[in-house]
């Protein structure tokens, strides 16, 4: 019938109005609190050298 069962019962009006209740509300201590994100080491790779081959001259 053209409908996906995955979306059956979904509150589309709530989505449109922005009134849906989120399934998870993380605790945030301040505007700069990143405790809810994973930590990764700094990127130590050097940027690649500039490509001055002219491959993009026609753009």
Query: In order along the chain (59 residues), what is the average pLDDT of each group of 10 residues?
Result: 76 96 94 95 88 89
d(CA 8, CA 55): 50
d(CA 37, CA 26): 11
pLDDT attached to residue 13: 96
- Work out the number of other CB atoms within 10 angstroms of the CB of residue 20: 13
d(CA 19, CA 58): 49
Q: How crowded is the C-beta side of 49, counted as CA atoms within 13 Å?
A: 3
Q: Is the entire prediction scored with pTM above 0.85?
A: no
pLDDT attached to residue 3: 65
């Amino acid at each position: 019938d053209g409908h996906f069962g995955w979306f059956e019962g979904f509150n589309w009006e709530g989505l449109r109005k922005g009134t849906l209740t989120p399934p998870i509300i993380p605790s945030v201590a301040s505007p700069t609190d990143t405790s809810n994100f994973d930590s990764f080491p700094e990127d130590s790779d050097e940027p690649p050298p500039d490509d001055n081959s002219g491959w993009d001259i026609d753009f």
